[in-house]
Structure 1
Amino acid sequence: MRFMLDTDSCIALIKRKPVGILRKIISLGPGDAGISAITLAELRYGVAISAQKERNSQALDEFLLPLEIADFDETTAGAYGEVRAALEKAGTPIGPLDTQIGAHALSLGAVLVTHNAREFRRIPGLAVEDWLA
């Protein structure tokens, strides 16, 4: 996985807006893009609280078909501990799920694709791209 999609990028792709992000994802090769299991949990939560659960669940399932879903494993847990400690020490913490997603991308050496680049750039060493800008 070269690119890990954050939740906001996934939602943009599911909604097919803006077109630029669709072009970017289509240009990638097989296995180049994926998501964290944490992102999947956020997306499933969004479906669970939506007014159109069946439609949104189907759209999510179709979106997920070509993507790798990376497990949050022991290596990732270690990276999370280090990232969270560094952010707290610097006095620049970010939300707990974003910390997990950022640490996950960092542990895999993947570029995190997010429209929330300002927050994620607080994570030392994390490569971030905004395909929605």
Structure 2
Amino acid sequence: MIHADTSFLVDLLRDAARSTRGPATALLEEIEREEIRVGVHVLCELLAGAEGSRRPTVERQRVRQLCGSLVVSYPDERFAPVYARLLASLRGGGRPIATMDLLIATAAIVDDAAIVTRNTKHFRRVPGLEIRGY
């Protein structure tokens, strides 16, 4: 199973807008037979970006079109203890990451999924997270 990070989905949206086959699109072609999910926090980031754009209606539609066929992963009772453990570990090591990135990483770990991202620098710090960068 794969969890798509915001950076990956944004890159797919950009590739589609430019009609190009960038690294994200190439990776999508490699993983398209795997189950790909999107965490609700990623969806929040994408829609927030759409709302802040010059064409929010168009961008919201593009996000819906891209994510419409993906399973959205929502936090359940497993989420909070995993998040708390990861946050304590990162703080204890003096290397915390942004809250939203940690929420996204937690969702992937809870679902026992790898995360596909361009943002390997921050996610690399999260113990137990499998990363597929590009």
Aligned counterparts of 2:102 and 2:132: Cα–Cα separation in 1: 16
Partner residue, 2:120: 117
Aligned counterparts of 1:22 and 1:11: Cα–Cα separation in 2: 11
Partner residue, 1:100: 103
Partner residue, 1:38: 41
Question: What do residues 107-129 of structure 1 show as CA deviations (whole Å, max 9, x unaligned)?
Answer: 11110111111111111111011
Which has the higher mean CA deviation after the structures are superposed, 92-101 or 31-40? 31-40
CA RMSD after TM alignment? 1.4
The runs of 5 or more residues in structure 1 that have no matched partner are: none
TM-score by length of 2: 0.89
Which has the higher mean CA deviation after the structures are superposed, 15-24 or 33-42? 15-24
Tell me whether 1:77 sits opposite 2:80 in the alignment: yes
1:4 is displaced (CA, Å) by: 0.6
Tell me whether 1:56 sits opposite 2:59 in the alignment: yes
Aligned counterparts of 1:18 and 1:88: Cα–Cα separation in 2: 38
1:23 is displaced (CA, Å) by: 3.2
Tell me the number of residue pairs that the alignment of Structure 1 and Structure 2 aligns.
129
Aligned counterparts of 1:98 and 1:41: Cα–Cα separation in 2: 12
Aligned counterparts of 1:88 and 1:20: Cα–Cα separation in 2: 32
Partner amino acid, structure 2, of 1:99: L
Name the % identity: 25
> Which of 22, 26, 49 lines up with 1:23 in the alignment?
26
Partner residue, 1:13: 12
Q: Name segments (4+ residues, structure 1) moved above 4 Å.
A: none
Question: What do residues 43-81 of structure 1 show as CA deviations (whole Å, max 9, x unaligned)?
Answer: 111111111111101111100122111002221222111
Maintained 8 Å contact 1:79/1:104? no
Question: What do residues 1-32 of structure 1 show as CA deviations (whole Å, max 9, x unaligned)?
Answer: x1111111010111225533223323422x61
